[in-house]
Chains A and B, each alone.
Chain A
Amino acid sequence: QVQLEQSGAEVKKPGSSVTVSCKASGVSFTSSVFSWVRQVPGQGLEWMGRVIPIVGVTNYAQKFQGRVTMTADKSTSTTYMTLSSLRSEDTAIYYCARAPGSARGYSDYWGLGTLVTVSS
C-alpha cells in the first residue's frame, strides 16, 4: 500500500530553519509529483510548493519564495522541505502530498503531517 512517512515533530527557535522529510513507498517515486501543504492550527490548507522528482523541478508559492527549498532524493524515494527564517506564524502542521503527475496535480495520498512549533 502507498505510504508517505513524514519525519517527527520539531520545535524551533525564531530565525532558525527546519527540514521535514517525506519517504514514499508503494508508489512510483519518479512518476509522481510531491506537494507540501501547511495548515496553521484552526485555519485552512495552504499550498507551499511542489517538486517533480524525475526532473528536479520545483515551483513555490510566492509567499514562500526565498524561504523554502524542496528537494527529492530518487535513491531513497524521499522528498524534503526546508523552511528558513522561521517565525511564530510558521507554527503549523506540514503535510507532504503525492500527485500522479504534473498534469494530474490532485493529491491522492497524504502523509500524516509534521507539527512544527516555532517558539522562543
Chain B
Amino acid sequence: DLQMTQSPSSVSASVGDRVTITCRANQDINNYVAWYQQKPGNGPELLIYASSPVQSGVSSRFSGSGSGTDFTLTISNFQPEDVATYYCQNYNTPPWTFGQGTKVEIK
C-alpha cells in the first residue's frame, strides 16, 4: 500500500516564523496531495489541494509545493490561530492515505 511519511511529528514556532512540514510518498503520486488543518476539538479543514492551490477562504500564509513523491506545506508568518495538527493526504489512487500528522505549537 501507498504510505505517506510526514515530518516532523511536532514543531514549536514563534509568531512570525516560517514553518515547513514535509510529506513523502513511497511511490509517485503526481500532484495528488491535499493538506488539512485540524484544530483541537474540531474536524479537519482543507487547506491545499493538488499540491499547491489554496482552498477558497484559506489564508494566503499557507502554501504548498511538490510533485512526484516529495511535498511541502509552508506556513509563512506563523500566527497563534495556526496552532493545530496538520495532515497530508494522497488521493492518487485508493487507499487515500493520510500522513501521521504534524502538531504545530506556539513557542
Pair A44/B91 contact, Cβ less than 8 Å: no
Q: Are B98 and A47 in contact (CB under 8 A)?
A: yes
Main secondary structure of the interface of B (DSSP, over half): loop
Q: How far is the CA of A36 from the CA of B81 in the complex (A)?
A: 27
The number of chain A residues touching the other chain, given as a range, is 20 to 34
CB of A34, distance to nearest CB on chain B (Å): 12
Choice from A44, A47, A113 contacting B101 with Cβ under 8 Å: A44
Residue of A nearest to B95 (CB): A61
B97 at the binding interface (Cβ < 8 Å)? yes
Is B62's beta carbon under 8 Å from chain A? Answer: no
A106 in contact with B46 given A44-B100, A44-B101, A45-B101 (CB within 8 Å): yes
B residues 41-85 touching A (CB-CB < 8 Å):
43-46, 49-50, 55, 85
Chain B residue contacts of A61, Cβ below 8 A: 94-95, 97
Chain B residues with CB under 8 Å of A108's CB are: 46, 49, 55
Residues of B within 8 A of A46 (CB): 98
- Specify which of A59, A62, A95, A113 is in contact with B1 (CB 8 Å cutoff): A62
Given known pairs A107-B44, A110-B44, A112-B43, the reply for A47 and B96 (CB within 8 Å) is yes
Known contacts A62-B1, A110-B44, A110-B45; is A105 also within 8 Å of B32 by CB?
yes
How many B residues touch A, CB cutoff 8 Å?
24
CB interface residues, A 18-73, toward B, < 8 Å = 35, 37, 44-47, 49-50, 59, 61-62
Q: How far is the CA of A107 from the CA of B36 in the complex (A)?
A: 9
- Given A44-B100, A44-B101, A45-B101, residue A106 in contact with residue B43 (CB < 8 A): no
Query: 12 A-B contacts, Cβ less than 8 Å apart?
Result: A35-B96, A44-B101, A47-B98, A49-B94, A59-B95, A61-B94, A95-B44, A105-B34, A105-B96, A106-B34, A108-B49, A110-B43
A: residues with CB less than 8 A from B are 35, 37, 44-47, 49-50, 59, 61-62, 95, 97, 99, 104-108, 110-113
